[in-house]
Structure 1
Amino acid sequence: MREDSGRSADGRHGIAGGAVKGSALASFADAVPFRLPQDLIEWVAKFDPQVIYSPLGSIRMMSAALQLSQRFDIPIVPHFMDDWPSTVYMDDARYFPLRRILRNKLEKILSRAPFGLTICDDMSGEYGRRHGMRFEAFMNCVDVPAQSVGEARHGGGEVVFGYVGGLHLNRWKSLCDVAAALQAAKDAGSDVWLDIFAPEADIRAYRSEFDGFTAVRNMGSLGYSDVRETLRNYDVLVHVESFLPADSRYTRLSISTKIPQYMAAGRPILAYGPDTLSSIAYVARVGAGLAVTKEGDVPGLLDGARRLIGLPGLRTQLGETGRNVASERHDAARERKRLMALLASAAAKGEA
């Protein structure tokens, strides 16, 4: 179990537990009865926490959080980054016993939670209805520039689209549709390009899928420290999701970490994916970009791309709207204070 800690103003603490991932072969090991090690119990007693914060994610992690909560009589604040309670152990009928154990553990966790945290408003609403309790949306945080970052500067009328993210979960298929739309714009005379940045393994696996698009200028990988400045080099940023139901059930209630980064960069977003997915709906709802939500709608993507290529004012408007939303909802300094306030309120309820 990974633990990180932070000290509160009165000298006491909270415990943060991270989710653990296992292979299919280790699935049943997740349900093996778990007992807190004595050295951990002694460390926690010395640490003197007021609240346990954890994204959970596995039966063993829930067991650890639950036992600590019960032993030290402190509340748990779970933070759901995606809808894993609905997807874990759902791929094989042999895992049905694990599903029952997981649901039972989760019910016990939530019974010791004054409220829960989620990754977005959509998840908070659904989880509130599902579990009959309060959930607060606490979204991905980024450093937001205090002022507009200005437009990207390219020679002549060149407009460059950029994609930063994974190509797994069949996102590469959706990105190929975007590439096809930009290729059509290029063939019709627009000076438009697409750069794709993804993990090295994804680039190796899917590079050949984009070989036929001369509009795709670069394919490579970025280090995390390079993402912020790189995003500002583009006129339009692209976000895609898979239309396949098997993929959508994993991403339906999640907000991609890239969305706040895109918004903070002050660039308009061309989003492509089902409107039932929170990431796509969020971009459209806050007015940070254009969303195309019909599968295979290359003409719709072409229409959106042409608007973004030909209307610099629209690019500026959408980019500024996104940056303002990032400042209001994703600014790291502001959200850290809000998180501390939420955890302090949970601790206070635990001591009442």
Structure 2
Amino acid sequence: MKILVVSCSPWRNDNNIGNSYTNIFKGIDNLEIAYICCGNGIPDTDFVKKHLHISERNIIRNLFNPNHKCCYEVNGIHEEVLEPIGKNGAFDFMRKHRFQLFFLFRDIIWSFKNWICDDLKKFVDDFNPDIIFAQFLDRSYLNDMLFFLKDYTKKPLIVYAWDDVYTLKQFSISPLFWLNRFLQRKKLRNISNISSYMYVISELQQIEYSKIFKRNCKVIYKGFDFNKKPEYIPSNNPLKLVFSGNIGSGRWKTLAYIGDALHEINQQEPKGILYIYTATPISNRIKQKLYYPESVKLQGSVSAEEIAKLQLDADILVHVESFHLKDRLQVRLSFSTKLVDYFKSGRCILAIGSKNIASIEYLSKNHGAIVVNNKSEIKKRLEKIIYSQSLIKKYSNRSWECGKKNHQIEEIQKILQNDFNELLQQ
């Protein structure tokens, strides 16, 4: 079975896209994957062997020089034709800060459609996919790629929604944001119409999107083999609280509330220290807000393998969402794949955020974490946890049981494989 996966980021072990896709696909019998990346970056994976990369820079260069290729096939991780991650100057600065003008500029570049070239067609023809699998995203250029691939191959399309990219339940004062939102909604509805299956990331999203798109959406989570629970033996003094992942979308503000609470708790002697591992660029403002030298340690980014070890060494794993309206609306239907890593480690989870956010609601419903819904309760709840070893052990067991109940990779892959086989039979 051949699956052509399409996305906007390189398939890498150290990013959420590649990590999650490897998780849900690896282990399915007789599966071969090729990957089209509509963006910059270098792949880093042993799981996928065939990659095709198309970037805005190469599209622009091709407009001025037809001999310069838009598309480059990548069969290794050291291809010179690809720009290294994080070294793209002003172009990436605009993308990093989500300037609406950048998104408009990017869509104009892709609208020339010179990327529909012989190299792209040859890559698709040589691979000859059975199914096309892609993110459901409010990215005009990605959806144009899907329209082309669907028409060119006549093969079934499956889309997977990770965030709320369609509804108007958002907050922005930018006219460009709302212009883009309305323009993308039409394309997304058309993408849904030509898709054989639509997967979503949370139960809240399943309810809303099934109603909006008038179809049966399926929830697909990240998963693991939950057969042997890691033993938890308290050994850290002070207690080690670990947060790993993206601190954008206002999450750093909630982490700062934790830092402030720990700072007060640690006045007499250190009782708990929060370690933050993140690849998110840290501005001076964020550094200042998180500056509690005795209570918060900003550690930067580490590999996925190292993160797994750090989580096992932790007493409490921290999940946070922002309390600010704009940030809450951005993530209200999202589910953090990091939580499944937390479940696998069998450690107590402390989750802080509003109750109407999908990840927080999930943890409350499944009793998978100690949940705090109000900023004013953070210090009180932290004190209760820090001074109760039995509570930490109780919720380390509950987090593991939550993963065992809802995230067994065998069950998740069985759903995927059955859907794939049904499409092939049709």
Task: Work out whether 1:323 is the aligned partner of 2:407.
Answer: no
Alpha carbons of structure 1 residues 97 and 208: separation in structure 2 relative to 1, 3 Å: closer
Q: Deviations over 1:265-290 (max 9, x none)?
A: 11111111111111211222211211
2:332 aligned residue? 252
2:208 corresponds in structure 1 to: 126
Q: Say what the alpha-carbon RMSD is for the aligned residues.
A: 3.4
Q: Distance in 2 between matches of 1:210 and 1:46?
A: 51
1:68 aligns with 2:149: yes
Q: Which amino acid aligns with 1:127?
A: Y
Q: Which amino acid aligns with 2:385?
A: L
- Find out whether 1:219 has 2:301 as its counterpart: no
Tell me the TM-score normalised to structure 1 length. Answer: 0.83
Range moving further from structure 2, 337-346 or 285-294? 337-346
Question: Which residue in the other structure is 1:140 paired with?
Answer: 222
The 3 A distance-change label for structure 1 pair 226 and 11 is closer
| SS of structure 1 residue aligned to 2:282 | helix
Distance in 2 between residues matched to 1:12 and 1:193, nearest whole Å:
44
- Say if 1:200 and 1:220, in contact at 8 Å, map to a contact too: no
Contact 1:50 1:347 in 2 (8 A): yes
Higher relative contact order (CA 8 A, sep 6+): 1
Partner of 1:154: 235
Give, as a single letter, the amino acid of the residue that structure 2 aligns with 1:219.
Answer: L
Displacement of 1:312 in angstroms is 2.3
- Percent identity, aligned pairs only, is 18
CA contact (8 A) 2:263 2:292 kept: no
Deviation at 1:251, TM superposition (A): 1.1
More deviation, 126-135/13-22: 13-22
Query: Are 1:254 and 1:278, in contact at CA under 8 Å, matched by a contact in 2?
Result: yes
Distance 1:254 1:187 in 2: 37
Classify the secondary structure of the residue corresponding to 2:370: strand
The 1:27–1:191 alpha-carbon spacing in structure 2 relative to 1, beyond 3 Å, is same
Task: Give the residue type in structure 2 aligned to 1:315.
Answer: I
- Unaligned runs of at least 5 residues, structure 2: 1-5, 12-20, 41-55, 57-94, 96-100
Q: Which amino acid aligns with 2:327?
A: D
Partner of 1:339: 416
Which residue is 1:273 aligned to?
353
Deviation of residue 132 (structure 1)?
1.0
Q: 1:161, 1:238 within 8 Å by CA — same for their partners in 2?
A: yes
Alpha-carbon shift at residue 321 of structure 1 (Å): 2.0
Give the 3 Å change call, closer, same or farther, for CA 234–7 of structure 1 in structure 2: closer
Equivalence for 1:186: 266
User: Alignment partner of 2:130: what SS?
Assistant: strand
Residue of structure 2 equivalent to 1:114: 196
1:282-336 superposed Cα distances (whole Å, 9 cap, x missing partner) = 2222112111112x31xx2223223322332322222122112223433445533
Range with bigger deviation, 284-293 or 201-210: 201-210
Determine the structure 1 residue equivalent to 2:60: none
User: Equivalent residue of 2:166, what SS?
Assistant: helix
Q: Which has the higher mean CA deviation after the structures are superposed, 327-336 or 1-10?
A: 1-10
C-alpha deviation, 1:82, in angstroms: 1.0
Asked whether the equivalents of residues 171 and 326 of structure 2 are also in contact (C-alpha less than 8 Å), the reply is no
Contact preservation (8 Å) 1:144, 1:323? no
Instruction: State the shift of 1:90 in Å.
Output: 6.5
Evaluate the alpha carbon distance shift between residue 306 and residue 67 of structure 1 in structure 2; reply closer, same or farther with a 3 A threshold. same
Matched, 1:25 2:140: no
Partner of 2:244: 164
Contact kept, 8 Å, 2:316 with 2:392, in 1: the verdict is yes
Q: Is the 8 A contact 2:28 2:413 kept in 1?
A: no
Partner of 2:163: 82
Q: Distance in 2 between matches of 1:89 and 1:321?
A: 35
Q: Secondary structure at the match of 2:402?
A: helix
CA distance in 2, matches of 1:210, 1:145: 35
The 1-side partners of 2:171 and 2:361 are apart by 27
Q: Deviations over 1:45-80 (max 9, x none)?
A: 443323211004211211221222233322211101
Moved more, 44-53 or 120-129: 44-53
Cα distance between partner residues in 1 of 2:26 and 2:235: 48
- Number of aligned residues: 343
Cα deviation for residue 151 of structure 1 reads 1.6
CA contact (8 A) 1:81 1:119 kept: yes
* Contact persistence 1:15–1:52 (CA under 8 A): no
For residue 237 of structure 1, report the CA deviation from its aligned partner.
1.1
How far apart are the structure 2 equivalents of 1:287 and 1:167? 24
